[in-house]
Structure 1
Amino acid sequence: MCIRKNMSASSANRREMLGQELFLIRFPILTDNLLLDGPVKSGLLLQSEVLDIYHYKYATIKPQLPFRTEPRQNIRTKGTINFTIPDVRELLKASTFSDPVAVRKLLWCIQVQKEAEGKLAALGFYVRCSGSSASWMCQTTTELRLLPWKTETVPIKRGSWIQVSRRDHCSWGYEKYISVEDLLDPAKGYANPSDFSLRLQAQVTAELPAGIE
């Protein structure tokens, strides 16, 4: 992902690219070998974070951590992400993310943002994925759906077969899923005319990933 952004693959840049998604990863429940060979060796974690994780794993009094610590409850092969945007006009000023959903021990979320400007402006609709190890790969089928508020309007559904890799990139989708003009047109019926809220959905079906226990 850093390479695609013309950034060096330094630990600082990897942290910047992950952003808040870094704290969705369950580093504290990794085995010591995975922790040391992955995020510790790569420099993804700060030294203070590594110390806090080991205190959490082995100390009687456990510190508060910014990372998720609950055990995984399932290894579902399929998952549905539902995302309602309160006012799509505000969304068009900055990208935003849904809450994550776990599928095959990976965390998936919807990302939406405005792409281009003027008459070329469009809604970018993507699925993002994050894994807990430094190197993993997973084959996935996704379908990205726009669910209109007007009942007679046909939902938009677009899907693809993708192969994902942490070392390659972690987001996929459509830069121009729908034009902003069509999205905001009340006659089209995509956004709620009373508050411009928008309903999006992503269906994710994943094969067993390689590189994750």
Structure 2
Amino acid sequence: MPSLGNSMERISGEHSDVHFLVGNGDAKEDFTSKCFRYICQNAVQLFGSDEFLQIDQKMLYNLLDSDRLLLSDEFEIWKAALRWADEKCRQNGIECSSENRRSVLGSTLFKIRFPNIHEDDFAKCVVPSGVLTEKELLSVYQFNSHPNLYLRGVSGLYSLKFPSHGRISDWNISKDNRRGTLALEIEKMSKFAGGKLGSRRFSEKVHINGLPWKIEAQIRKKTGTDEKCLGFFLWCDAIERGSVNRVFSATYRIESEKSEAENSIGTFCDYVINLSFWWGFENFITFAELFDPSNGFYNREEDKVTLSIDLIVKKEKLYKIIVDECKSSGTIEMEIENLSKFAREVIVSERKSETVHIKGFPWKIWTQIEKKNESTDNEKWLCIYLLCDAPEEDKNWSCKCTAIFRIVSQKNGVSDFRREFDDYVFDNNENSWGVKNFISFGELMDPFKGLYNKSEDKATFAIDVTVKEEKMEDK
């Protein structure tokens, strides 16, 4: 990146050069902002360049303070900062010791998001560097052991001085770059279906919103039977470090080649990327259904099946603590749009609401499509659950709450459809509760019930939650 270091130094000072070039006021500010934006968007090239070592501490501070560095791995930021510190030590003719590194970094050190560095890298590289004090190291370990303590304003023995939220790396990304389609053409499908359980095929990677995605197809057993079925999953390959905080929705599809037949479709909505590496359906379709010529999914002549996923990566979210999250009561709401389409999707298709924090715990509405228990007909039912979506690594928490599950009436004079539950205890082992067969789609969409907005093809669900008792231990 030619002359980037000099340009950065000029912009990061008193802006005298910029002032000379573009004048005063908004023009000056706009030019400076665009330069800084360019630097953040090209952070990968910058951090690996020799010019990076020549920037001053103020510019480094501003870069590391920004939520908008186009880097998904905080460990790379740490290594670059350490390389910069070593260069400054050499320029000043002093030893590259841990004390001197810390000294030249100064307040910039506290802009590195150490809690977002993978624990292996933290233990093998950050700890031995000696740059952090013992209390600072322990504060990071404590945060990663019990992040919910900090969410609820309990800092424990060691106060965390480092930012812990993710970086937003989406400056100037168009809506089109947030959408894309992945495809996997499984050739020699009959041979693949006859293979061992666990056999897999992967698609080529497709980059959407700066992240690499791919489809996985896997041979599995249908739950509770010996019948083989196809598992259908979406993978994101850029999150080994767990520092990417985007939200996505995906529609999984096996398209029928017959115009009169329906496609096989499943959906995942509003999932947070950093909570998992992959998402999908373990029993998407049996091979008997897949090869059934009446469905049109299998191209017998070419012995192949084509899977696709339509993906939308939504705006990134920072994990911000707000005062309102400590309230003991609240309501979670979720609108299911295109309800008629959702009702036709495969069993276990699901939708989840946005997270609502109540008493410091993250709550969601979780809906799924199921068949009625022990039913022999094909009528689909809607399941609705209250989910306490705390991180899996948090083991020592529990809370007792009451909940009112509602389908909000769309007609004046018609009451909400509701069920109430008292004193259910949520913890790490049992983090969801609800009704498996809450309402049939036939009843839900019955115009006389007043629960379905036909003109907008949607229904609104709500859960009123009151947390009575809660426990969060720091062990």
Superposition TM-score tier, normalisation by shorter sequence: 0.5 to 0.7
Tell me the TM-score normalised to structure 2 length.
0.32
CA radius of gyration, larger in: 2
The question of 1:115 aligning with 2:374 is answered no
State how far apart, in whole Å, the 2-side matches of 1:123 and 1:63 are.
35
Letter in 1 for 2:453: N
Conserved 8 A contact 1:105-1:131 = no
Q: Deviation digits for residues 33-64 of structure 1, max 9, x if unmatched?
A: 5335458xxxxxxxxxxxxxxxx9648xx972
Equivalences for residues 8-157 of structure 1 within 5 A: 28=115, 31-37=139-145, 58=162, 64=167, 65-67=243-245, 68-73=318-323, 74-92=325-343, 93=345, 94-116=349-371, 118-131=377-390, 133-157=394-418
Q: CA deviation at 1:136?
A: 0.8
Q: CA deviation at 1:131?
A: 2.6
Q: CA deviation at 1:113?
A: 1.5
State how far apart, in whole Å, the 1-side matches of 2:144 and 2:336 are.
39
Is the alpha carbon distance of 1:38 and 1:111 closer, same or farther for their aligned partners in structure 2, counting shifts above 3 Å?
same
Q: CA deviation at 1:121?
A: 2.0
Conserved 8 A contact 1:104-1:208 = no
Letter in 2 for 1:207: K
Conserved 8 A contact 2:115-2:144 = no
CA RMSD of aligned residues (A): 3.0
Conserved 8 A contact 2:327-2:359 = yes
Conserved 8 A contact 1:141-1:206 = yes
Q: Deviation digits for residues 75-129 of structure 1, max 9, x if unmatched?
A: 1100111211112223332200111110011011111111117454211011111
State how far apart, in whole Å, the 2-side matches of 1:63 and 1:137 are.
26
Is the alpha carbon distance of 1:150 and 1:58 closer, same or farther for their aligned partners in structure 2, counting shifts above 3 Å?
closer
Conserved 8 A contact 1:28-1:57 = no
Conserved 8 A contact 2:166-2:244 = no
Is the alpha carbon distance of 1:191 and 1:88 closer, same or farther for their aligned partners in structure 2, counting shifts above 3 Å?
same
Is the alpha carbon distance of 1:131 and 1:194 closer, same or farther for their aligned partners in structure 2, counting shifts above 3 Å?
same
State how far apart, in whole Å, the 2-side matches of 1:120 and 1:130 are.
30
State how far apart, in whole Å, the 2-side matches of 1:75 and 1:190 are.
32
Is the alpha carbon distance of 1:195 and 1:160 closer, same or farther for their aligned partners in structure 2, counting shifts above 3 Å?
same
State how far apart, in whole Å, the 1-side matches of 2:166 and 2:439 are.
46
Q: Deviation digits for residues 141-173 of structure 1, max 9, x if unmatched?
A: 11100112122332111111211111x221111
Letter in 1 for 2:384: F
> SS state of the match for residue 209, structure 1?
strand
Residue range with higher mean Cα deviation, 170-179 or 109-118: 109-118
Is the alpha carbon distance of 1:69 and 1:81 closer, same or farther for their aligned partners in structure 2, counting shifts above 3 Å?
closer
Q: Which runs of 4+ in 1 moved over 6 A?
A: none
1:165 corresponds in structure 2 to: 427
2:437 corresponds in structure 1 to: 176
Q: Deviation digits for residues 174-210 of structure 1, max 9, x if unmatched?
A: 1111111111222222111213210111100003421
2:472 corresponds in structure 1 to: 211
2:199 corresponds in structure 1 to: none
State how far apart, in whole Å, the 2-side matches of 1:28 and 1:106 are.
20
5+ residue gaps, structure 2, are 1-113, 117-137, 148-159, 168-242, 246-317
Is the alpha carbon distance of 1:212 and 1:146 closer, same or farther for their aligned partners in structure 2, counting shifts above 3 Å?
farther
Residue range with higher mean Cα deviation, 102-111 or 68-77: 68-77
Conserved 8 A contact 2:115-2:162 = no
Letter in 2 for 1:153: V
1:49 corresponds in structure 2 to: none
Is the alpha carbon distance of 1:31 and 1:84 closer, same or farther for their aligned partners in structure 2, counting shifts above 3 Å?
farther
1:20 corresponds in structure 2 to: none
Letter in 1 for 2:354: D
State how far apart, in whole Å, the 1-side matches of 2:115 and 2:463 are.
29
Conserved 8 A contact 1:104-1:207 = no
